[in-house]
Structure 1
Amino acid sequence: MGITIVGLGPGSFKHITLETWELLSNAGTLILRTAKHPCIEKLTAQGIGFTSFDHLYEQANDFSSLYEEIAQSVIARARQGEEIVYAVPGSPLVAEKTVELIRTKAKTAEVSLTIIPAMSFLEVLYTRLGIDPINGLTIVDAADLATLPPDLATGLVITQVYNRQVASDAKLTLMDYFGDEYQVTVVRNLGLPDEEVTKVMLFELDRLPVIDHLTSVYVPARPVRSKVFSLDPVVDVMARLRSPGGCVWDIEQTHLSLRRYFVEEVYEVLEAIELADGVKLCEELGDVLLQIVFHARIAEESGGFTMQDVIDNVTEKMVRRHPHVFGSITVRDAAEVVLNWEQIKKREKALERTGVLDGIPVGLPSLMTAYKLQAKAAKVGFDWDNIAPVWDKVFEELQELREAAALPAVAREREAEGELGDVLFAVVNLARFMGIDPETALNVTNNKFRKRFAYIEIKLKEQKCRWEDMDLASLDILWEEAKKKMSLE
């Protein structure tokens, strides 16, 4: 007793090997998994008798139980003393669940088993789609799609897409991996005269005119983002731009000339954050990174420091200032983390900073400078105990500004400027007590004004009106429209 398993090839009779044809022609008991195969017409024409399991397909509740029943039947007949040739579509060892089950059961049942090499549909598929499997390919039965790993990184070939229901189930599973509009290739009747190769979006997979036992699906690998990133590309680009024969403008830049660009890029990052625009934020962070690389390159050319020094220094600093993470210190909450951070900074800067207000960069925007001056003064107790006198101070400074504005012209210009500065300083202090960053708050208002003003411009164009044709009352109506519209967004 014994079983010989052969493959009928991917489709056309010309793909059957000579060895397989001899076994089919001389088989005592020839059993086909399915008679739905292009080669069967040739077998019938040659008078070769066979049986198949097609009747089970109509009765089975699911493919798992179907394949199990087929395997048990083949093994049972072999144990009864029959020499069986079991033929499957394609190659016996490519996506053939029944063969896998028969191999396992044959060992237990002590039934001899021989598997004959055969050509699978994959060889045709590789050729038609220009795929080299050495780059990685996962082949899976449609019934086993749920077992795919969530981080699948290879291309995917799905076999046994028998009908529209199987295609629908496959579609729903695949859309969880790749999204609705991921493009896949559906192949049908590979190697036959009426071969079909169709590209569709995943959501269209079960809407094809014909889906049958000769249908398979190829899903290209998702673009894989490297888990390890490198700054080398941008560092190399900057080195090229600054080298002889590079960009004249980049070569001429210095640390001083680049200052305003750095500030501009930072504010564009803040705008992207406020807009909750992830794409814009990604782009603007790249622009900030470019500025850092630019400064590092200039420093490296003069023998100061390199980009690697920048990375090493900030890494060491972060480790040093987080002893509760990288050391043995424990903290109770975020407030204690900040306290530790400030104490460590104070120790690190002890030799550099002798005054309470030391360490505030000269080039900071004025609102940020005022905020930091007040915060540093507060650390040594130069501060109010609560917010009430802060409100009083704001009103006091506003009154003094009003009085300065009423002075004669010569004195007014000198006094009003100072009093306006006092008002702004007092408002910054109020922001600090309220836990609001004044620079960010003003930036939010600037962007809000820009969007509302743009709305008015659009409306004027729609109404074919000129600015000079509008009075303030009419413009104020449009302004209120803009406020109401944007409050709903």
Structure 2
Amino acid sequence: MTQAITVLGLGSGDENQLTLGVLRKLQQATKLYLRTEKHPVAQFLQAEGIRYETFDAVYESKDRFDDTYEAIVSALLESARTENVVYAVPGHPMVAEYTVQLLRTRCPEEGIKLDIIGGESFIDQAFLRFGFDPIEGLQLLDATDLRPGMLNPRLHTIIGQVYDTFTASDVKLTLMDMYPDDYPVVVGHSLGVAGEESLVELPLYELDRTEGYGNLSLVWIPKSDRDELRNRTMERLHEIVAILRSPEGCPWDREQTHASLCKNLIEEAYEVLETIDEDDPDHMCEELGDLLLQVMLHAQMEEETGAFTVYDVIAGLNEKLIRRHPHVFGTQEAGNAEEALANWQGIKDEEKRRKGIDPKKQSVLAGIPRDLPALMKAYKLQKKAAGVGFDWSETAEVSAKIQEELAELQEAVTDGTPEQRLDELGDVLFAVVNLARFLKIDPEEALASTNRKFTNRFRYIEESLEADGRSIHNTNLDEMEELWQEAKKLP
């Protein structure tokens, strides 16, 4: 006897929505299973004297849906080894029916024939009851696996598997990452089921405050071209930058080149750093946007030549992050930051070897960006050299070197040329960076802190003079020094 499982779709409503073919299969079945008895057609089968078994007990015995579905499929396969099995599921077998997907994988492996006969899905009723044409654009999403990145406000969105208010609450919170709190949504319960169907339109923030959620509940979020929604998407940003660079766009943006925007890129990065120092999230949000614009402009220029697009940039970054974090996305382990960094470096070296570069033949100082700010670059150069033992042994030696360089600078100031003074001053600064490294202090952070301190104290002088009706431009050094000393005493 041929071992076979026939899967039937019971539709989303009562027996009036059954197809004739499905009805005949139900009537002819010698071994009929329903995934669940919680479906309007079950009462019809009972009235017609059609015997069946259900898997509702499996739901009660398992804590996880995945375990439940695996158990159902295993039971069906076992039964099919001795007789032909008919398995009926709510809606359409190929719409949001995980057990059918498992059967499509397992049946060929087990040598069991699988037939699937469709039925009306909840999507059919959604189009009818919600009243929109799917050709306008549609996304169907699972409430139990909903993430903000899936959302596209320019498409109608139907969310299924909204079993209860807890699931509805999770859906609400995810949608609020894209949509305003008061955005109108529609909840549909038991669509197409006579006497049980209900449609509730409500603002998004009330999504989990309505009752009636169950196996036949859906949420519809109507499509929208509202700017406040589109402006939250990467697609819209890409579109805007392309328009700015187009012949009909902005003359200034059209004229820019990679070289002309280099200064802007650096300035925007430093403005982001300033917001971090200020601990100002709103300002940081704005400045990160300005920095992202620089990335978008450079990517757009290359898209115009056909070299790459910003989506290639994103893809490359995603692939690199996954590849360089095998302790997160793979099987490798890293118990602390040092081990994670060692993994990262090992993978970078392997990437170089694939490009024909032997890391062992590279300079120890390779990999430091050429155009780093000088103070930061000095710190990184010294750190790389120290990694192979080219370093002072103790802080006192570094301090003595600073004194030596200061003496040479003083000599150059007295008798040297401008080039010698430049050279000796650089040596002093380089030696001071060495001391910072020995003290485990980032020299950039130290100098930035002093810059802020100087700025605050100097502004105190200006504000004090202004409060007294005077200007700093008409004040002598002694008066400014007195106010400076006052500022030093302030917290």
TM-score normalised per structure 1 = 0.51
Equivalents in 1 of 2:204, 2:367: separation in Å? 55
Aligned to 2:371: 363
1:283-326 per-position Cα deviation (integer Å, ceiling 9, x unaligned): 11111111111111111112222101111111111111111111
2:440 is aligned with 1:435 = yes
Aligned to 2:484: 479
Distance 1:439 1:381, change over 3 A: same
2:343 is aligned with 1:326 = no
* Contact 1:367–1:439 (8 Å) recurs in 2: yes
1:67-91 per-position Cα deviation (integer Å, ceiling 9, x unaligned): xxxxxxxxxxxxxxxxxxxxxxxxx
Equivalents in 1 of 2:167, 2:312: separation in Å? 44
The answer for unaligned runs of 5 or more in structure 2 is: 1-156, 158-165, 174-180, 183-201, 208-220, 222-227
More moved, 385-394 vs 304-313: 385-394
* Contact 2:461–2:483 (8 Å) recurs in 1: yes
* Contact 2:172–2:204 (8 Å) recurs in 1: no
Superposed, 1:182-201 pairs within 5 Å as none
1:431-486 per-position Cα deviation (integer Å, ceiling 9, x unaligned): 2223322223323322332233223222221111122432223212322333443x
- 2:259 counterpart SS class: coil
* Contact 1:368–1:438 (8 Å) recurs in 2: yes
Aligned to 2:389: 381
Deviation, structure 1 residue 347: 2.7
* Contact 1:406–1:412 (8 Å) recurs in 2: no
Distance 1:394 1:347, change over 3 A: farther
Counterpart AA for 1:448: K
* Contact 1:274–1:444 (8 Å) recurs in 2: no
Equivalents in 2 of 1:281, 1:365: separation in Å? 22
Aligned to 1:396: 404
Equivalents in 2 of 1:399, 1:150: separation in Å? 70
Counterpart AA for 2:233: S
More moved, 291-300 vs 383-392: 383-392
2:462 is aligned with 1:457 = yes
Aligned to 1:469: 474
2:431 is aligned with 1:422 = no
Distance 1:349 1:392, change over 3 A: farther
Aligned to 1:274: 277
Deviation, structure 1 residue 148: 12
Superposed, 1:12-161 pairs within 5 Å as 153=172
- Give the aligned CA root-mean-square deviation in angstroms: 3.4
* Contact 2:462–2:471 (8 Å) recurs in 1: no
Superposed, 1:343-354 pairs within 5 Å as 343-350=346-353, 351-352=356-357, 354=362
Counterpart AA for 1:366: A
Distance 1:267 1:422, change over 3 A: same
Q: Among residues 227, 232, 237, which one is paired with 2:235 in the alignment? A: 232
Equivalents in 2 of 1:256, 1:476: separation in Å? 44
1:137-157 per-position Cα deviation (integer Å, ceiling 9, x unaligned): xxxxxxxxxx99976949xxx
Equivalents in 2 of 1:343, 1:372: separation in Å? 19
Q: Among residues 243, 259, 262, which one is paired with 1:259 in the alignment? A: 262
The answer for unaligned runs of 5 or more in structure 1 is: 1-134, 136-146, 155-181, 184-217
Query: What is the percentage of aligned positions where both structures have the same residue?
Result: 48
Equivalents in 2 of 1:442, 1:323: separation in Å? 37
- 1:406 counterpart SS class: helix
Equivalents in 2 of 1:287, 1:404: separation in Å? 44
Equivalents in 2 of 1:451, 1:294: separation in Å? 36
- 1:294 counterpart SS class: helix
Deviation, structure 1 residue 278: 0.9
Equivalents in 2 of 1:294, 1:286: separation in Å? 12
Q: Which segments of structure 1 move beyond 6 Å, counting only runs of 4 or more?
A: 147-152, 222-226
Distance 1:222 1:394, change over 3 A: farther
Deviation, structure 1 residue 222: 8.8
- 2:371 counterpart SS class: coil
Equivalents in 1 of 2:326, 2:286: separation in Å? 33
Distance 1:153 1:377, change over 3 A: same
Aligned to 1:200: none
Equivalents in 2 of 1:471, 1:148: separation in Å? 71
Aligned to 2:61: none
Aligned to 1:246: 249
Equivalents in 2 of 1:437, 1:475: separation in Å? 31
Counterpart AA for 1:394: I
Aligned to 1:314: 317
Distance 1:483 1:302, change over 3 A: farther
Equivalents in 2 of 1:436, 1:232: separation in Å? 42
Distance 1:248 1:318, change over 3 A: same
Distance 1:483 1:236, change over 3 A: farther
- 2:393 counterpart SS class: coil
Deviation, structure 1 residue 231: 1.6
Q: Among residues 291, 300, 303, which one is paired with 1:300 in the alignment? A: 303
- Please identify the structure whose Cα radius of gyration is greater: 1
Deviation, structure 1 residue 232: 1.6
Distance 1:342 1:384, change over 3 A: farther
Equivalents in 1 of 2:330, 2:485: separation in Å? 56
* Contact 1:357–1:376 (8 Å) recurs in 2: yes
Counterpart AA for 1:463: D
Distance 1:303 1:406, change over 3 A: same
- The total of aligned residue pairs comes to 278
Equivalents in 2 of 1:219, 1:292: separation in Å? 37
Counterpart AA for 1:475: M
* Contact 2:303–2:309 (8 Å) recurs in 1: yes
Equivalents in 2 of 1:425, 1:247: separation in Å? 45
* Contact 1:239–1:297 (8 Å) recurs in 2: yes
